[in-house]
Structure 1
Amino acid sequence: MDRRSFTRALLGVAGLGLAQARAQTPPDAWQAEFAARRAAQPWLMGFEGLAADAAPMALEMQGRIPPALFGSFYRNGAARHALGGERYHHWFDGDGMLQQYQLGPQGVVHQGRFVRTEKFLADSAAGRPVRAAFGTNPPQAEPIRSADALNVANTSVVSHGGELLALWEGGSATRIDARTLETRGLKTWTPDYTGMPFSAHPRIGRDGSLWNFGVSSVQGLLSIYHVSPDGRGVRTASLKVADLAMVHDFAVTERHLVFLLPPLVFDLERMRAGQTFLASHVWRPELGMRVLVLPKDRLDAPRWFMLPAGFVFHIGNAWEDARRGVIQLDYIRSPDAWWATQGLQDLMRGHYQSADHGAMALVTLDLQSGQARQELLPHVAEFPRVDPRFVGQRTQQVLVSERVAAGPRPGYDAVTRVDLRTGRADRFRYGTEVMVEEHLFVPRAGAPEGHGWVLGTALDLQRRAMLLSVFDAQHLADGPIAQGVLPRVMPLGLHGIFVGA
């Protein structure tokens, strides 16, 4: 892989696009629209954003935190949505803030710090956005000198090889001090892959090694990373993919990597014409949902399967049934990409039409016949998580944030554990006035799959506070066994992890 060729291609295209955008972009009025609707729509407090770090603050606790949960619950997400009166045009554009809920015998303490990326520092120094973002080309934007010049480190977080890393889609991982949340600089896996995309959903398998990927849209490249458990051994590879799609997540099995490619395809000419990175993607349903399967030991030997056209952000898990010669997979399927391309833009102006109606889907890939089958489950949901001990292994239980009766606002109002074998659901509904974020499994050592705890956050609109809830993972419907109230509003975010003390 020639990193210099990747950088030259990125700079050449982006430089042309931003030059035209500077000449064409009118003054931004999105902040005024958002402010005009803010008072009448309380749910907008979750998308208002912050201007400063969140100092350490203790939560008001009810119930008892199990000692097995003493440690840190880290969350990441876009948190600075406006600067200098200019508002970003997509939820994914905001600067990342890493949050830590530190759980211990004395209770829970929360803090949050913006990731000091190159982009964050440049925009802060200028007092307004001067670097392009996923869905925004700001007026008088600076030229792009590298992919990491746009890195907002706002999507996810992983702990691997003794390092805590804030993750984005289009550039490097960012090293974070696990105690203070201070930014320690970019992570370089190998010299040849310096600055190459390292995506936000790495998978850590049973052997402790990490697999991840990156999408280089301009060059049509899918890059693969395999990192040893101690973080020192790194294997990389890249392959050309025709009509490369917007790919956010993937799955691993014992022997394969699995990618779902929705027909939201990058169009180089649109970017050359000055469109944002988001607007440079075209919905081409005639391509269907392509499924790429790569053997771990033969990354140059791809196999392709086909599913009906649809859009996907997140995959729960995948595993192989060697006896039947199939791969089983679950993911969240939307009928199209409207929510990603338009709905999440509308939120930044305070507009809401309808929520994403992503449904849980079960997929069977027959490795012998080359055929794929799909079944939809009756759960409007997102953020699927499985017991982390069983990534790439046979699983039966998936945890999701579910939309049951959320009313005229976006997001989710329940956390649900779905049994994929029986279809049964164990659910706790927070209520219409609570916006539920991603929850995750924290397993009990030595216990069967899904036995342990569920840990997650939610925004209580009436109390203007964040809730940190702990459930018995097998009895969600009974409600939290412990819950903390953080008396301040934090921007709604994306993904998190738990790291034991």
Structure 2
Amino acid sequence: MDRRKLLRLLATAGAAPLLAPLAHAAGPENWQTEFNAAGAPWKLGFATPPGDLPLTPATVRGRFPDALRGSLYRIGPAGHDLGGERYHHWFDGDGMTQRFLIEGSEVRHQGRYVATAKRTSELRAGHRLTEGFGTIIAGVEPPESPDSINVANTSLLPLSGELLALWEGGSATRLDPRTLDTLGLKTWRADLAGLPFSAHPKVDPDGTVWNFGVGASQGLLVLYELAPDGALRRADAVPVPDLPMVHDFAVTDRHLVFLMPPLVYDAQRKQAGASFLDAHVWRPELGMRVLVVDKKDWKKRQTLALPAGFLFHLGNAWSEEAADGTVIHVDYVRSNTAASVFTTNREVMRARRVRCAEPHLTVATLNLGSGRATQTTLPLEAEFPRIDPRRVGLRHRRVVHATQVAQDRPGFAAIAVTDVESGSSQCFVYGQQAMVEEHVFVPDGAGAGWVLGTVLDFAQKKTVLSCFAADRLGDGPVAQATLPYSLPLGLHGVFVSA
């Protein structure tokens, strides 16, 4: 099948899971009422800001290093309820972008909802008009296309003077990086309009951008290669049998690496009225398939096998030559099952804490010559892994990640830097009344670099931005900026120097 036919099929695949008839809606329980009545103080992280947040100064302790002069952008689900109807999954909320403008001893913050077509039309109507990733809304019409339910709430990519707000199932959304104004959808080529452009692109040290998109119902994986200036170099579709839910991937200097958990889309479930999430089935007999694609020739592909498990995020991958061929090393955050996406991330929408299998930092070795894959799980609870951006696709050792799963609330209590080769780790514990968000690594010339990130202090009802020396994380923050208010818990972010 030629490329254009595959891309047309992928466009159908993007819409088909979402255009199925709605056979039933969510149960009669009122999640908004339950959330409002709950006494859990941490529910603040899942509350809905009533509107945009103007540029506001933070209270700064210490001084942020010169290497951090610039902006930390973060994004996540924030619009969780509308017209008395609350979403039933954290990932469904309308996206809100946060900007922390850092200038030494001064930090200012602004936050704006992404004005997607979905959010604009629903605000005008005063109620939800379409379903979400994990929520069926009674009485709504099926969406016209994936972008009609695009919430632009997962990640951000600075590219060619713009800031792209990314989702899983549709187009990237263009933002002005200074004002956070929404500028419209990004289309690289007419036949790619509306195709999924996923939330975790990888940027090579030379600036080349790689990404993918999942067309679940047709078993098609679309691949993208962009030049450093944002121009499209290549896009094509690759057939993958039993294509699962894939959120992230990794690159080496020569390969694209996809870890594919056995969480597979079932069209019959969707046709019976399930949400897109609930149309997926856990099939552990498939194991964790690993798809390795040659960067230069996407027709050169190899599949390896790891034990069944689930993941959201990868840290990094790199390759070396051995006597029997190429060996790829890749680190990722692994759980035994996918229960978290079905239960933990759903029940927080009514302020309930439900624990599932905890994620752990895991290092896999893929021998392309023998076709054998092995892995080692480190005794470290982990999520949101990030590395030095200069080492993407190259040999690395340090991974920054959240750690220490909290017992009585969702999320993590500490941030860590772990050496994935030796297993040694240093961490800073924020405390039992703080919910740790993703922290990023910011280089500083030839120095050790800095770790920069946010936490929600739900005791103070404030969000705090902290900076650590990457080689002395355990010493605590060298600077902190405390906002006079709290922000909803977000997902991913990126630092852009001034």
TM-score range, shorter chain: over 0.9
Is the contact between residue 49 and residue 490 of structure 1 (CA under 8 Å) also seen in structure 2?
A: no
Answer yes or no: is 1:472 the counterpart of 2:472.
no
Q: How does 1:339-354 map to 2 (within 5 A)?
A: 339-354=340-355
Distance, in Å, in 2 between the alignment partners of 1:215 and 1:291 is 15
Answer yes or no: is 1:335 the counterpart of 2:374.
no
Answer yes or no: is 1:15 the counterpart of 2:19.
yes
Per the alignment, residue 379 of structure 2 pairs with: 378
Q: CA deviation at 1:323?
A: 3.8
- 1:123 counterpart SS class: helix
Deviations 1:436-455 (A, max 9, x none): 000010011234xxx11100
Answer yes or no: is 1:361 the counterpart of 2:362.
yes
Is the contact between residue 215 and residue 222 of structure 1 (CA under 8 Å) also seen in structure 2?
A: yes
Per the alignment, residue 240 of structure 1 pairs with: 239
Note the aligned Cα RMSD (angstroms).
1.4
- 2:412 counterpart SS class: coil
Is the contact between residue 76 and residue 153 of structure 2 (CA under 8 Å) also seen in structure 1?
A: yes
- Identical amino acids, percent of aligned pairs: 49
Per the alignment, residue 219 of structure 1 pairs with: 218
Change over 3 Å in CA distance of 1:222–1:106 after alignment to 2: same
Answer yes or no: is 1:287 the counterpart of 2:289.
no
Distance, in Å, in 2 between the alignment partners of 1:6 and 1:306 is 26
Distance, in Å, in 1 between the alignment partners of 2:74 and 2:429 is 22
Answer yes or no: is 1:411 the counterpart of 2:433.
no
Per the alignment, residue 141 of structure 1 pairs with: 140
Matched to 2:365, the amino acid is: T
Per the alignment, residue 495 of structure 2 pairs with: 498
Per the alignment, residue 264 of structure 1 pairs with: 263
Per the alignment, residue 77 of structure 2 pairs with: 78
Matched to 1:457, the amino acid is: T
Deviations 1:324-366 (A, max 9, x none): 5200000000000000111111111221121550001000000
Matched to 2:328, the amino acid is: I
- 1:403 counterpart SS class: strand
Runs of 4+ in 1 over 6 A off after TM superposition: none
Change over 3 Å in CA distance of 1:82–1:429 after alignment to 2: same
Is the contact between residue 147 and residue 171 of structure 2 (CA under 8 Å) also seen in structure 1?
A: yes
TM-score (norm 1): 0.96
Distance, in Å, in 2 between the alignment partners of 1:209 and 1:231 is 9
Per the alignment, residue 55 of structure 1 pairs with: 54
Deviations 1:469-489 (A, max 9, x none): 011111000000000111211
Change over 3 Å in CA distance of 1:475–1:12 after alignment to 2: closer
Unmatched 5+ residue regions in structure 1? none
Per the alignment, residue 254 of structure 2 pairs with: 255
Answer yes or no: is 1:277 the counterpart of 2:276.
yes
Is the contact between residue 72 and residue 102 of structure 1 (CA under 8 Å) also seen in structure 2?
A: yes
Q: CA deviation at 1:259?
A: 0.2
Unmatched 5+ residue regions in structure 2? none
Per the alignment, residue 434 of structure 2 pairs with: 434
Deviations 1:132-187 (A, max 9, x none): 11001211213311110010000000112222100000000000000000000000
- 2:371 counterpart SS class: coil
Matched to 1:43, the amino acid is: W
Deviates more, 1:7-16 or 1:248-257: 7-16
Distance, in Å, in 1 between the alignment partners of 2:10 and 2:253 is 31
Per the alignment, residue 295 of structure 2 pairs with: 296
**Number of aligned positions between the proteins:** 492
Change over 3 Å in CA distance of 1:135–1:256 after alignment to 2: same
Is the contact between residue 153 and residue 168 of structure 1 (CA under 8 Å) also seen in structure 2?
A: yes
Distance, in Å, in 1 between the alignment partners of 2:348 and 2:307 is 28
Q: CA deviation at 1:407?
A: 3.0
Q: CA deviation at 1:106?
A: 5.2
Answer yes or no: is 1:308 the counterpart of 2:307.
yes
Distance, in Å, in 2 between the alignment partners of 1:9 and 1:100 is 34
Q: CA deviation at 1:309?
A: 0.5
Distance, in Å, in 1 between the alignment partners of 2:65 and 2:441 is 14
Matched to 2:129, the amino acid is: V
- 1:342 counterpart SS class: helix
- 1:275 counterpart SS class: coil
